[in-house]
Structure 1
Amino acid sequence: MFGGLFVLAGIGMLLINYVLVNQIVPDAVGFVEHFEGTAPQPKTTTGPVTDPLDGGVIIGEKTSLIQSFRSSTMQTLLIASGIALIAAGAVAGLLGWLMAGRALKPVHTITATARRLGAESLDRRINLEGPPDELKELADTFDGMLDRLATAFDSQRRFVANASHELRTPLAVQRTLIEVAMADPTASPELLRLGQHLLHTNERSERMIEGLLVLARSDQGLVSRLPVRLDEVVDAVLRSAAGMAAEEGVTVASRLDPRLVIGDQVLLERLATNLVHNAVRYNEPGGSVLVQVSDTPALVVTNTGPVVPADAVPGLFEPFRRLARTRGASRDGAGLGLSIVRSVVQAHHGRVYAEPNAGGGLRITVYLPVTGPVPARSHRPAIESPDAPATLEA
């Protein structure tokens, strides 16, 4: 931009110089008249008209020579000025680029710092050194905003930690009191029915609180990142879900390739647990579930079940959103399963997609950043074929 403005100013100056020089340099006829001291001969004069001061040079030829010299001078002035302007414009553009880059370097620093920021890396600061100009003020304002954000996130983490204890303890006490009352041999059938209902309500409240706490933790980002074998985590989740699959009459198959993820093992385990449990719980008797772990995508969970409308799929990732007709009273959840999945995936800088199957059920695909080679492991889970799935044994 600076180079372009310089070139425009140079073009204007070149035009002004050309006009001024063109006006200062006299025309050929006037120049000859001034030095001849006489007016040109009329055209009706017979014979050659000569100039007595220069030994017989024809006035017409002299005028032509002077006119040619004047035209050549103006053309040379225009060409030389144009070449000088192009060269100076190129130099001005280069110097303007270098100076603008140096002047805007703090802006690139601010941009790079903002791009690296996350809920788990709010300790980064710009700390711009330099004169107290507008960019210094912008950087200091940005650092002050980060200080306030870091304070707010630390306060939220402490709140989640305190809420985890304060909310779970009363529910645990209530569950214990209900179980003690139900264990009384003299308890009436009405009391036992009430106790079962209260236990179910208490269990649902515990699941909801646990889901909200996990959701809040994952939304805050990852405090620490460690190498985690996703295939081993999924294998452990599948083994723990074998009893649920047997009760629901659902066949579970798996294809688990070695896959390393840099992240939080607890959150990754919760991600896999929610996907597997949802695939088993919201299936149909005699249905199937296929769980795949590979390089890309990292995790795919496909299940049979009721037909899911395509327009209802995006809403499943919102908190407390669920398809009512797929849930029975005995399996009513908090509606946080896929919300937690999305939050955990985003905390690991990944993506998650869901799409309905043609015959019913869902296919959920999780993409996570690819890491280095996976270290060898002493054992590997059995890889079941989707054509001949085997029910997992507890």
Structure 2
Amino acid sequence: MTLLYGGLFTVIALGVLGSAQQLQLYVLNELFTADAHQGNDVPCDQRPPDVPCSLVPYDSHNGNAPSGGSSGLRDDLASSQQLITVAAVLVITVLAFGLSWWLTGRLLRPLHRITDTARRLSLSTMHERIALTGAPSELKDLADTFDAMLDRLQDSLDSQRRFVANASHELRTPLAIQRTAIEVGLVDPSPEMLARVRAELLRNVQRAERLIEGLLTLAQGERGLDIRSRVDFAATVNQVISDQQPAAHRNGVTIAAAINHVAVAGDEVMLTRLAANLVQNAVHHNHPGGHVLVELADDATLVVRNTGPQVPPDRLDELFQPFRRLHRDRTKSAEGAGLGLSIVAAIVHAHGGTVQATANTRGGLTVTVALPVLTELALSEAVG
């Protein structure tokens, strides 16, 4: 950059000085030529006695000096001007490269700081930030954008660490229960004990299957969608409500629905899982005699509202994180693994929608999912 800026400034200075010198030479030539012509027009009777009329041209400024004196003066002026121009070019060149080197170093100092920070970054130093101060500028905007990206990466890494730790714990729990059941059952392999061990093993295997399926669905939702197709979201929600009616009847919960016809662009299997998780949570986290209200508006907004225990408002964000439960019953929670709403959030984000949970004043939860309404243009862009 120093060579570029210094060279560019020098070329411009040379062009300006050269043009100025040529203009000055032209003016000098015009002046001396005019003086010479003026001398030729002086009559003989008005000339000094020592200047004969045969002397042509006559220089009225130098008396009896011939025209050759004017030419010499002009050449001397031109030569001195060239020397001054060459000296000015040398000074300008030195100053241009010196100032360019200083200015480039000053301007690129924040960029060097950004580069050094990027080189030092690793999993153990992800907490470092550039934290560039000063007046707003392009480089400060770049540094702030880089810091914001690092914040997102830090959050992602922290979430990944928590997810791996929780997933390993959740997978370890059913395996430990199965091993204990086998070891205890084999001590006294009576028919009654074998039946109990068999039932316990089957329950934990089913729980592990649900956990693995939930992890796979969560990973697919966080990865996003590769192909989108037209999905009749109203039919999907109605089918989910129909499938959950037996479980609601067993728990003494009533499901009411207000469904409008609407279509969205996305993955039908994942959207079915989204609606099923919402209705399952609403039925499971309820009380006998409670109710669940499922509403689907024509703008593809799905609202699932249920009665149930009080939900602390300050813990609503935790519900969308993997393996977070309001009641930590890790060993007896055969109905789920704490992935329900986190899977919902991943699927919603994969479809370009939003999800929000609100605690009801009388207990229970209201979850609102807003998905983009299907249009022919949106479907063609999604498929394309």
- With the length of structure 1 as denominator, give the TM-score of the two structures: 0.47
TM-score by length of 2: 0.48
